Amino acid sequence: MPAFNFKDINGVEYSSANTKGKIVLFKCWFIGCSTCVKEMPELNKMVEKYNNRKDILFVSLAIDDKKPLQEFLTKTKFEYATVPSQDKYMTEKLKVAAYPTHFLMDKNGILVKTVNTETAISEVLEQLAVQ
């Protein structure tokens, strides 16, 4: 996974260093993406399923700036940590071409899978979670 150092809308930092030893699921999205928003209830169920696992992190990288994201998240429940203004990282480092795109990183910081559906995410996450 390309090196990263993000701060979510609540001020929590996520970096290549402090996520070592954790499985990280990154969702790349933006507010105007209807498919991105439509899958959020299923993704919330996944977060709920693994909420007792401190070794699994759910982080969303959004194109949108902090203020519109905060407004959106008051109306739409989304349980991922949300990092604003990540368009440059997603296009230049991750080469995201379609939204939503999900990246699964293993405990060694290795990108193990890139997927576009919540079903595929769930399958890969289940495999990683038992390792």
- pLDDT tier at 131, thresholds 50, 70, 90: low
Give the Cα separation of 12 and 60 in Å (integer). Answer: 13
pLDDT tens figures, 57-95: 999 999 999 999 999 999 999 999 999 999 999 999 999
Six token digits for residue 112: 């193990």
Contact 62, 29 (CB under 8 A): yes
pTM: 0.93
CB atoms within 10 A of CB 45: 12
Predicted confidence at residue 38, as pLDDT, reads 96
Name the 3-class secondary structure at 14.
Answer: strand
For the chain, the average pLDDT equals: 94
Percent of the chain with pLDDT over 70: 99
pLDDT tens figures, 5-60: 999 999 999 999 999 999 999 999 999 999 999 999 999 999 999 999 999 999 99
